[in-house]
Amino acid sequence: MMIDFLADYYQNVANYPVLSEVEPGYLGKLLPTSAPLNPESIETILQDLEQHIIPGITHWQSPNYFAYFPCSGSNAGFLGEMLSTGLNVVGFNWVSSPAATELESTVMDWLGQVLKLPKTFLFSGSGGGVLLGTTCEAILGTLVAARDQKLSQIGRENIGKLIVYGSDQTHCAVQKAAHIIGIPPKNFRVIKTNKSTSFSLLPESLLSTIQSDVQNGLVPCYLCVTVGTTSTTAIDPVGPLCKVAKDYGMWVHVDAAYAGSACICPEFRHLIDGVEDADSFSLNAHKWFLTNLDCCCLWVKDPTSLIKSLSTNSVYLENSASESKQVVDYKDWQITLSRRFRALKVWLVLRSYGVANLTNFLRNHVEMAKTFEELVKQDKRFEVVVPRTLAVVCFRILPSAVAKITNGRVQNGDSKTEDVANEINRKLLNSINGSGTVYMTHAIVGGIFMIRCAIGATLTEETHVIMAWKVVQKHADAILNY
């Protein structure tokens, strides 16, 4: 019955308004104020699910979903999740479920090999990989290791001197992680990027910032290099940034949460050139690798650094396998103790699709993005704001098109044309999303409000992409009075 429900959902998911149309607090008015005393039938529960829950869902699996980044699922990922949930093992150390640990180590080496990661990141070399929930966990874990490594050199009393580096495009998870582990917010360096370099973090900008900190008696600790930023999918130059950081003994983490999956394609592997000089590397398989949420893949060169910072050795966890030092205890590679059997999902995806089909899946989305990009360029009212790297197109109505509807004048006497263009583009996005037909999100970079079309939903085909552009044009026509 549940499988039938989900099958019907996917059959009809394209017909739902992509963005939920409910108002805040809607569900409290529909559900009882207390839990039932007696059991209810699954039929009754599913009826409530369809009537009350589904309307409050934003449909991430819709082929018309183009917001944020994709959360691509698949039959293989679903089955792996079902197996994991059904078996319900808690593989915090090897002895608690040997297969869970060993399958995870195996698939992390498989995927690392497909990505052509250096052997120093693999169990078959001197490193290793772990499956976590999200990139936030990967950043927090590696930042703890970097902190402890540096404090062992300069003394724990000097934590206030540690500096963490990122750009103004780095994910907010880094600042949050730094705050959690006791590094003051003032010790996080947000290095400015600009449009002329596609919002990538420049090595010379990093170097000058580090030099200034060192002159002031501060201690560089951690750098987050991003391959595929959230706003525009900007690509930071991994190799050159690693070289700068290594001159100062910093831990370098490469966050490829979105773009990392694409690096299994030979034509995109260059995006992570230089990763051999980093200390850790992560990607989210649940974003663009057909692996249902949640699944973040983290590789580290020196697992001992992670284990030193995150290990737990309570008496009730003691066992001969752990004491032999011949096994992996993944509890010591993560923040939490308990963990899910995520490896089943990755195993099923890799085996059910094969690397050849996975690369085709990714390439198809990139080709669809090229189609959307070309459609934007053909309409002279619009511009592609930043160069497209993979499958995200950032676009907007041009200020010149806005000027036409104001007779060449801005609407408010003290406002700039760019400000008015930003407001018009914000209005356009709200109108598009309000239609329920498609869902896109925005970014503001360099003072420019842009609309992001992120193509990557599993069910999306070229027809959906072309339709999405027609929706954009229709709403632009109405706003621009065409």
State how far Cα 481 lies from the chain centre.
38
- Mutual angle of helices 238-246 and 203-215, in 10-degree steps: 20
pLDDT at site 373: 98
pLDDT at site 312: 86
pLDDT at site 2: 86
Q: What is the DSSP string of 206-273?
A: HHHHHHHHHHTT-EEEEEEEEBS-TTT--B--HHHHHHHHHTTT-EEEEE-TTGGGGGGSGGGGGGGT
Handedness of CA 469, 471, 474, 478 (dihedral sign): negative
Q: List per-residue pLDDT tens for the chain, 482 residues long.
A: 888 999 999 999 999 999 999 999 999 999 999 999 999 999 999 999 999 999 999 999 999 999 999 999 999 999 999 999 999 999 999 999 999 999 999 999 999 999 999 999 999 999 999 999 999 999 999 999 999 999 999 999 999 999 999 999 999 999 999 999 999 999 999 999 999 999 999 999 999 999 999 999 999 999 999 999 999 999 999 999 999 999 999 999 999 999 999 999 999 999 999 999 999 999 999 999 999 999 999 999 999 999 999 998 889 999 999 999 999 999 999 999 999 999 999 999 999 999 999 999 999 999 999 999 999 999 999 999 999 999 999 999 999 998 777 655 444 434 578 899 999 999 999 999 999 999 999 999 999 999 999 999 999 999 999 999 999 999 999 999 86
pLDDT digits (tens, 9 = 90+) for 37-66: 999 999 999 999 999 999 999 999 999 999
In whole angstroms, how far apart are CA 47 and each of 11, 343, 377? 18, 33, 46
pLDDT at site 415: 55
Taking Cα atoms as reference points, which of 414, 435, 446 lies closest to residue 196? 446
Residue 197 CB neighbour total at 10 angstroms: 12
- Tokens found for residue 100: 């869970």
pLDDT digits (tens, 9 = 90+) for 261-317: 999 999 999 999 999 999 999 999 999 999 999 999 999 999 999 999 999 888 999
Global pTM value: 0.94
**Main-chain phi, psi angles of 63, to 5 degrees:** -65, -10
**Main-chain phi, psi angles of 382, to 5 degrees:** -115, 165
- What is the distance between the alpha carbons of residues 214 and 167, in angstroms, rounded to a whole number? 18
Taking Cα atoms as reference points, which of 286, 283, 299, 295 lies closest to residue 342? 295
- What is the distance between the alpha carbons of residues 72 and 55, in angstroms, rounded to a whole number? 21
Pairing mode of beta strands 188-191, 162-167: parallel
CB 472, CB 482: distance < 8 Å:
no
CB 264, CB 291: distance < 8 Å:
no
Which residues make Cβ contacts (< 8 Å) with residue 161, sequence separation at least 6? 154, 187, 217, 218, 219
With 0-12 / 13-18 / 19 or more C-beta atoms within 10 angstroms meaning exposed / middle / buried, residue 222 is buried
CB 476, CB 428: distance < 8 Å:
yes
